């Protein structure tokens, strides 16, 4: 069964959602990140995806206090990303409670540094976050595009021990139009040894069930949860059936 991973995006210690990575198209929610994590845990979910959007924009972690608070409050497996570009940042995230550190821009712009971290911490802790726009990988909180395709990065990192990849189709993110199924099925076929997480566009339980039928192992759900297009009751019921 596909693993559903709810997202909590953070700016200024608050839960927010962006549309297509645009900081000018921000929605802020009343519920705190800690309270939201508690709701996810109560629904039977086991892993959450935390994004320090402020950190991604600034190039340094900005909301590690929130990570520590969630770690203390709930027994969930935590993915943490946003602004990780120094080894000190990796260490701080792990010390504050992250089980997995998601790294994107550094893997694109400083691949030798990313390889060093992969070798030191292992592929279960260092996760590649590949954010794709028009076939190219974007960096710095999606504010600029690189000249690299995702395959260019994967071909280099797989031999170094890469195990997990979160792939976000920026054109779909926050748009509630369904995921880019061909993108994920083609990647899964080309790199059968990697665990891919679908991110972007999830709008309904039907989207999740369809991805599950295709054998995709993980999916991140964000705005659809916050807008009640997918409810925690639906997810809990589906998990119990599975």
List residues with catalytic annotation.
9, 131
Pairing, β 3-11 against β 136-139: unpaired
Residues contacting 194, CB < 8 A, separation 6+: 154, 158, 162, 163, 164, 165, 187, 188
Q: For residues 154 and 121, give the distance between their C-alpha atoms in angstroms, rounded to a whole number.
A: 18
Q: For residues 161 and 40, give the distance between their C-alpha atoms in angstroms, rounded to a whole number.
A: 31
Asked whether the beta carbons of 126 and 118 are under 8 A apart, the reply is yes
């Amino acid at each position: 069964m596909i693993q559903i991973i709810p997202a909590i995006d953070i700016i200024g210690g608050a839960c927010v959602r962006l549309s297509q990575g645009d900081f000018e198209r921000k929605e802020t929610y009343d519920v705190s990140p800690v309270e939201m994590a508690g709701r996810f845990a109560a629904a039977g979910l086991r892993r959450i995806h935390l994004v320090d959007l402020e950190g991604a924009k600034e190039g340094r972690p900005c909301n590690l206090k929130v990570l520590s608070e969630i770690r203390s409050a709930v027994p969930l497996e935590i993915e943490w990303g946003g602004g990780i570009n120094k080894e000190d940042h990796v260490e701080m995230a792990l010390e504050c409670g992250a089980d997995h550190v998601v790294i994107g821009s550094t893997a694109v712009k400083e691949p030798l540094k990313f390889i060093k971290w992969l070798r030191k911490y292992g592929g279960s802790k260092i996760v590649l976050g590949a954010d794709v726009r028009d076939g190219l990988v974007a960096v710095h909180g999606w504010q600029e595009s690189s000249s690299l395709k995702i395959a260019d990065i994967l071909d280099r990192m797989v031999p170094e021990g890469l195990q997990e990849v979160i792939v976000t189709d920026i054109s779909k993110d926050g748009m509630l139009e369904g995921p880019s199924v061909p993108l994920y099925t083609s990647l899964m076929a080309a790199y059968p040894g990697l665990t891919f997480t679908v991110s972007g566009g999830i709008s309904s339980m039907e989207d999740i069930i369809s991805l599950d039928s295709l054998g995709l192992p993980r999916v991140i759900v964000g705005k659809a949860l916050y807008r009640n297009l997918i409810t925690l009751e639906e997810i809990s019921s589906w998990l119990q059936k599975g």
